[in-house]
Chain A
């Protein structure tokens, strides 16, 4: 069976260094950090005080009342990113067969902010005084449902939850469903709103969060020798994926072609990656093979690169194991150096970066790179982005629980 080809025709984005495609791309090009000291809740008692909070995001610009007050922050990110992406794609939904349009979104945590607020109510007033919308607000699939309801999209609808790989995995599964004819168009990506006292505290308790509070913009420093953990971020990144013929027929704007996807498990540990990065190596190889490419064809790797000691070393080892000597020739950079790690949103946001990198033929930098770690010796595009000829990008996501997913974005052949 001839697989159908899929292209990216719309982008939507919310994060701490800019909401909207253009603002965000400028921040990426210029290596601007969006990290700051947390001020929207009290961090007294924590060793870490830094996060990537989307402070310029106003949900009421994208979502009408009274809905805006009835949904959790992670759904705000989903509806806003989906609206931007659909507008960007220039799709006229009224003319489309809505049975053929689906929604597949990644979220590691769902409506955890409202969950936390309502747990406080349960303890203060009793569980008989819980808000009547607890169930529809907290459920992790609220985001895909709300996007479908908003636009009347009747195709496959789901949320995929594989921790830090959720967004990438959602895009990959959407890609497969279009390839195999389950739908023609999909609103897909990742969203997350983990900057709540409980969730921030939970990640701090796991001892994976950077304690480098001063200056906060330098806390996330993937591959740098002095990195000490990741910075929790939030936001959303949504793509419109569309079957190639459908996109060509309506003369759609095309950013890139999505050509490969693979997912696997390390089956090793809930938090630690395999030190040799064997599972990471296998999943990268799987995605490259799925795209019918070889390692020589990869022009840039958008790394998972969280800024933890374990991840950045394991990912570097995996790249070296797979690419051999070629590893030293492929630029590798980290979006998380600028916006931190937004868990389920990360893969969606990084997919937006990949699509824009192909369109602009530009590789964004890894910022805050100051001292070389002997265990991390690749070309990390330190501190300064660069123009480059980019035909194929490998985008990595390696989640807690060893859930791994990789995508290949390619320049559309003319």
Chain B
């Protein structure tokens, strides 16, 4: 089960990059179809996630993620344990 804080942070990063309201993003929103994320947007999101969570996001992860849920799951599993 993914952390609620991760979900909120991911949504906020997406909202900021895409210039849309955070409330319009749900956990099941599709990145390309629903949110209009293109390849530039994807690398920008990866960059912002790295800045926020402090670890490297793989190229694979960013290009295969289809939904907000995919990103949240990736962060939750890859995030270094304290």
* Residues of A in contact with B (beta carbons under 8 Å apart): 65-66, 68-70, 129, 131-133, 136
Which chain B residues border A68 with CB–CB below 8 Å?
19
| A133 with B43: CB separation less than 8 A | yes
List of B residues within 8 angstroms of A70 by Cβ: 40, 44
* Interface contacts beyond A70-B44, A132-B43, A132-B47: sample of 16 additional A-B pairs, CB < 8 Å, sorted by A: A65-B18, A65-B19, A66-B17, A66-B18, A66-B19, A66-B41, A68-B19, A69-B17, A129-B51, A131-B47, A132-B44, A132-B46, A133-B40, A133-B43, A133-B44, A136-B40
Contacts of A69 in B (CB 8 A): 17, 19
19 contacts between A and B (CB under 8 A): A65-B18, A65-B19, A66-B17, A66-B18, A66-B41, A68-B19, A69-B19, A70-B40, A129-B51, A131-B44, A131-B47, A132-B40, A132-B43, A132-B44, A132-B46, A132-B47, A133-B40, A133-B44, A136-B40
Closest to A125 in B: B51
- Docked CA distance A68–B19 (Å): 10
Closest to B18 in A: A66
Chain B positions 29 through 53: 1 when the CB is less than 8 Å from some CB of chain A, otherwise 0: 0000000000011011011000100
Residue numbers in B under 8 Å from A132 (CB-CB) = 40, 43-44, 46-47
Q: How far is the CA of A66 from the CA of B51 in the complex (A)?
A: 20
Closest chain-B Cβ to A279's Cβ sits at a distance in Å of: 43
Tell me, in angstroms, the Cα distance from A69 to B44 when the chains sit together. 11
Which A residues are in CB contact (< 8 Å) with B47? 131-132
Partner-A contacts on B (CB < 8 A): 17-19, 40-41, 43-44, 46-47, 51
Closest to A65 in B: B19
Note all chain A residues with C-beta closer than 8 A to B41: 66
Contacts of B43 in A (CB 8 A): 132-133
State in angstroms the CA–CA spacing of A48 and B40 once bound together.
39
Q: How far is it, in angstroms, between the C-alpha of A129 and the C-alpha of B18 when the chains are bound?
A: 21
Nearest residue in B to A60 (C-beta to C-beta)? B19
Closest B residue to A132 by beta carbon equals B43
Q: Which residue of A lies closest to B37 (CB)?
A: A66
Question: Shortest Cβ distance from A242 into chain B, in angstroms?
Answer: 33
Q: How far is the CA of A136 from the CA of B51 in the complex (A)?
A: 21
Chain A residue with Cβ nearest B38: A66
Cα of A131 to Cα of B43 in the assembled complex, Å: 9
Please, which residues of chain B bring their CB within 8 A of the CB of A65?
18-19
Q: Separation in Å of the A188 CB from the closest CB of chain B?
A: 26
In Å, the complex CA distance between A131 and B51 comes to 10
Closest residue of chain A to B46, judged by CB? A132
In whole angstroms, what is the CA distance A132 to B46 when docked?
A: 9
